[in-house]
Structure 1
Amino acid sequence: MTAQQSCNDMYNGIQEKTANLLWEWGKILQSSRNEMEIDQKFNIFVHTNRNGIFKSVEMISEFFRIATQMCVKNVYQLLNKDKAPPRRENYYVMCDSFIKLVSLLIKKNAHSANPAPQLKLLPMILNTIAGRLLQDQEEHGIHFHQLPYHRLIIILFLEMTQEDMAIVNYEVVFEFYQMLRIVRPSAAPGFCYAWLEIVAHRVFMHRVLVATSIRQGAGMMYCTLLILLFEFLHPFLRNTEWAPPVIMLYKGTLKVLLVLVHDFPEFLCDYHYRFCDEIPPNCIQMRNIILSAYPMNMIPPYPLSLNLDVDLIAEMSLPPRTAIHFEAIIPSSKLKKDLDAYLEAQAPVTFLSELRSNIQVVNELGSRYDTKMMNAVVLYVGTKAIAHIRAKGQTPNMTTIAHSAHMDIFQNFAVDFDCEGRALFLNAIANQLRYPNSHTHYFSCCLLYLFAEAVNIKEQITRVLFERFLAERPIPWGILVTLNKLVHDPVYKFWTQEFVVRCKQDIGNVARIIATRHRIYNGQQI
């Protein structure tokens, strides 16, 4: 007998044992009436097979691999039948049975005196599923089915995050996070819809984001998963026309963000900067949803009131919630050193003339500038300006923000940059117009100051604000306050601007919308 024949016989033997074990375990589940009875029969089942498949970690790993293949093959066979099973649940019988066995193997070890085996078995099964998924997608191409993998992953997660496993919830969630990074949409595009469904699952969302208050970094995991989704969508969303599959994935993403705004607004407040870095400029509604989030313990005042004085709002003096370190948003480089030196001494003057070349990356229309660097510079300079004003015992207003190194940089963006660069700059400012906080206050004053002082940028400022206002609700509070101030305050002479006179009817329609469309705010009739 050759070595190859010996290996084949061994594999066939393990495969046959695995099939018998799955069949026997399935019968146990069918005959059990409750969880207590399943636990009792599980102990007998494992004891009976302790010298076989379950005698070592290596044998369990092989069992996981072969059983996963069998579950997937079973679903494919059912899907390829001429007549589908009468109920969708019939597709899941074998997958659910296998996952129940896996979860008990992990949890029984976790409840023993030495919980270490759990840390081996959970990533073992998750890596097995992920590896099989990637291989299956490559083999089947457009005929790949995501259904069995979605079922295996989500049922295993539900089993592993029950209330009695609360002690190890963070470790369990982390292992699933690692696996979801492996099968991210860019690596497994055929699995992207199921991937989004897992990430958006109410239990998954709750386990990850509630764990944030217990273990630092849990929120960052969910943030990273959403960024992986945005990165996958980015090249498709930049196009003017979207294919139906892209539209479906985009709508699913919007629904996830709307759930987050309603149930976990603090999470969006904490990570809004990172999200806005990844969202294409033309996805205004998606950005608006993120920027509309505000802490649950806050009720912002009605933003379209003509009598609203933002300087009297107590929250306008408080820094916003954030999970980023503002000092580190610009990587250590010559640009950061020169920027800090200019903010300190307002010199050398050549820094302003070189700023454009530092942010411009290519000379290609539509992608000429480093958008992330632009966002970073605008937010960094803004936070430094706020600290500078506060250090003098003042608050941001049209007078205190003027004639400073910080405003010199912003005015340079407005004057020296071309139309594309100015649009990115203004959108970077608009990304900070959120709920009442010190950033919203400063950047709102900044935008209004630029409108009053800069000649060549008034129309672009109006466009940025109108684009965000005319998108589907919700609309960020800071956008509404700034636009309301711009349109109604005679200081800015909005209605006498040349571009407004030229398009007075269209802009007048928008002004009427401002007065009527948002009469319901925060669920209250105004």
Structure 2
Amino acid sequence: MHQQGILKTDDLITRFFRLCTEMCVEISYRAQAEQQHNPAANPTMIRAKCYHNLDAFVRLIALLVKHSGEAANTVTKINLLNKVLGIVVGVLLQDHDVRQSEFQQLPYHRIFIMLLLELNAPEHVLETINFQTLTAFCNTFHILRPTKAPGFVYAWLELISHRIFIARMLAHTPQQKGWPMYAQLLIDLFKYLAPFLRNVELAKPMQILYKGTLRVLLVLLHDFPEFLCDYHYGFCDVIPPNCIQLRNLILSAFPRNMRLPDPFTPNLKKDLDSYLKTRSPVTFLSDLRSNLQVSNEPGNRYNIQLINALVLYVGTQAIAHIHNKGSTPSMSTITHSAHMDIFQNLAVDLDTEGRYLFLNAIANQLRYPNSHTHYFSCTMLYLFAEANTEAIQEQITRVLLERLIVNRPHPWGLLITFIELIKNPAFKFWNHEFVHCAPEIEKLFQSVAQCCMGQKQAQQVMEGTGAS
């Protein structure tokens, strides 16, 4: 190919790979059409026929990438890989737009997966460009995110959840360089799913995609819990509030670091910091609801990202403030502070929709045992104890309960908070009207209490605090 001058100029390289991609894709479409016209045709043989051409093309790409430029010249190799990936993406997107519902994922999926495997083989020449190779694939998958190419979504999910891709992206390198890139791909997935998940009734194709997403998260929870811990915040920002199980899976992960986001506007940040230090300006609390509200449309009134950020930031500052005084978070040390002023004001001042989002933001921090979980658990219980209406107490109960009635796993902090609420006589939980408003509701509370505490202890608690 070098001798024939096929790779002499940029334009010739582009033309060659574009024509090759289009030819391989066309052969694949023809083979699949043959199967439709001849139902007796063996689908395995048809697929093997498609793969034969696609795999040969991938092998050629891999050889050219490995042997382009000098052995040590990683830039040339990566430039060629980026060019080829860009060409395949271009062909895919054009095909996706033109064929629409007739679009076939198979040829593109095969090209990407085989190329990923070829370029992650244990060869010295590939090891030197490993991270740049993964970066190139990540950028490619981000460009092909489901909102951009919904017809490619199943193949896309298979690609980003392939065991070799996950293992390489989330390997424990010193800086964990692949983590933010992989987190972005999951955010791409959650953003696509979000509008469908807001409607409780999922169509069959979406049910399949949702189940696939749960499986990917279960793999991450089992093999890379630190990754879910580090990025739980960004994920919870884009997952709709009604997706309890999805959120529980992420929040059940435990170890170490917490990264603090900052979506505040400069003015709000300045006023917030000022209020936390001096409890002024006095108008800060009364203006807070309007700062969080973005529209009058029910279901979309509030800036959820801003509520999540506000709760986490205020809580983090409160923990630091308590530690500076030589104490640890408890029901007595969290009170009478600017931080609790803000939380109590939000609990009282927000409407039902806003309060639900605010309480969810607190519940998102009830995770593995650490100072954040302990502080926010105390805060949730304090807001319950000090609530000026039963409506607030009922909503706090709802936020905790709806996260416990879905399948396991349940975050540790969530269980601890709910057990304390129903067990500690100080909260008079079993005396509240909403616990006994209907027989089926009462049974639900009793069964959750038994799951959390065991049947005997739950029975003692319910009887000892005046429950029927």
Identify the structure with bigger relative contact order (alpha carbons < 8 Å, sequence gap 6+).
1
1:257 aligns to 2:217 (yes or no): yes
Aligned to 2:106: 147
- 1:169-318 equivalences under 5 Å are 169-210=130-171, 213-295=173-255
The 3-state SS of whatever aligns with 2:409 is: coil
Contact 1:292 1:435 in 2 (8 A): yes
Question: CA–CA distance in 2 between the matches of 1:501 and 1:203?
Answer: 52
Deviation at 1:484, TM superposition (A): 1.0
**Which deviations, in whole Å up to 9, do the C-alpha atoms of 1:5-34 show, x marking residues without a partner?**
xxxxxxxxxxxxxxxxxxxxxxxxxxxxxx
**Contact 1:78-1:85 at 8 Å conserved across structures:** no
Q: CA deviation at 1:356?
A: 0.3
So what's the TM-score if we normalise by structure 1? 0.82
Aligned to 2:127: 166
Q: 2:342 aligns with which of 409, 415, 418?
A: 409
Q: Does 1:390 align with 2:343?
A: no
Q: Is the 8 A contact 1:330 1:336 kept in 2?
A: no
Is 2:277 the partner of 1:344? yes
Partner of 1:480: 415
Report what 2:464 is aligned to.
none
Q: Which runs of 5+ in 1 are unaligned?
A: 1-45, 296-319, 520-526
After TM superposition, the structure 1 = structure 2 runs for residues 336-485 of structure 1, keeping only pairs within 5 Å, are: 336-456=269-389, 457-485=392-420
Matched residues in 1 for 2:71 and 2:265: separation?
Answer: 48
Q: Provide structure 2 residue ranges, at least 5 long, that are not aligned to the other structure.
A: 458-468
Choose the corresponding residue for 1:79, options 6, 12, 32: 32
Give distance in 2, aligned partners of 1:339 and 1:280: 26
The SS at the match of 1:185 is coil
Change over 3 Å in CA distance of 1:120–1:460 after alignment to 2: same
Please list, as runs of the form range in 1=range in 2, the aligned pairs for 1:88-99 lying within 5 A after superposition.
88-99=47-58
C-alpha distance in 2, partners of 1:156/1:241?
Answer: 38
* 2:74–2:128 Cα contact (<8 Å) kept: no
Secondary structure of the residue aligned to 1:55 is: coil
Q: Which amino acid aligns with 1:393?
A: G
CA contact (8 A) 2:263 2:305 kept: no
AA at the equivalent of 1:515: M
Number of residue pairs the alignment of both structures matches: 443
Q: Could you tell me which residue of structure 2 aligns to residue 106 of structure 1?
A: 65
CA distance in 2 between counterparts of 1:515 and 1:394 reads: 30
Amino acid at match of 1:375: N
Q: Which amino acid aligns with 2:162?
A: H
Residue 458 of structure 2 is aligned to residue 499 of structure 1? no
- TM superposition shift of 1:506: 3.1
2:401 & 2:145 partners in 1: Cα distance?
35
Distance 1:512 1:207, change over 3 A: same
CA contact 1:432–1:443 (8 Å) conserved in 2: yes
Q: Does the CA-based 8 Å contact 1:173-1:208 persist in structure 2? A: yes
Question: Which residue number in structure 2 is paired with residue 508 of structure 1?
Answer: 446
Q: How far did 1:105 drift?
A: 0.5
In 2, Cα distance between equivalents of 1:505 and 1:216: 47
Looking at structure 2, the residues matched to 203 and 393 of structure 1 have their Cα atoms a distance apart, in angstroms, of 48
The question of whether the paired residues in 1 share the 8 Å contact of 2:170 and 2:176 is answered with: no
- Residue 389 of structure 1 and its aligned partner are, at CA, apart by 0.4
Distance 1:86 1:372, change over 3 A: closer
Contact in 1 for aligned 2:419/2:453 (Cα 8 Å):
no
Cα offset for 1:215? 4.6
Post-superposition shift, 1:144? 0.3
Contact 1:234 1:280 in 2 (8 A): yes
Equivalent in the alignment of 2:82? 123
Question: 1:396 is matched by which residue type in structure 2?
Answer: P
Quote the offset at 1:54 in angstroms: 3.2
Q: Distance in 1 between matches of 2:133 and 2:26?
A: 27
State the Cα distance separating 1:119 from its structure 2 match. 2.1
Contact 2:232 2:251 in 1 (8 A): yes
Q: Supply the distance in 1 between the matched residues of 2:421 and 2:69 (Cα, whole angstroms).
A: 61
SS at match of 1:409: helix
Partner residue of 1:69 out of 3, 19, 22 = 22
Q: How many percent of aligned residue pairs carry the same amino acid?
A: 53
State the superposition RMSD in angstroms: 1.7
Partner SS for 2:92: helix
AA aligned to 1:335 is L
**Residue 137 (structure 1) aligns with:** 96
CA contact (8 A) 2:264 2:306 kept: no
C-alpha separation in 1, matches of 2:175 and 2:60? 29
SS in 1 for 2:182: helix
* Change in CA separation of 1:172 and 1:110 when aligned onto 2, cut-off 3 Å: farther
Deviation at 1:216, TM superposition (A): 4.7
What per-residue deviation string (whole Å, max 9, x for no partner) do you get for residues 350-397 of structure 1? 111110000001111111111110001000000000000001110000
CA displacement, residues 285-336 of structure 1 (integer Å, 9 cap, x when unaligned): 00000000113xxxxxxxxxxxxxxxxxxxxxxxx412x3x2x523342111
CA contact (8 A) 2:74 2:129 kept: no
How far did 1:455 drift? 3.2
| Offset of residue 221 of structure 1 | 0.2
**1:424/1:463 Cα in 2 relative to 1: closer, same or farther (>3 Å)?**
same
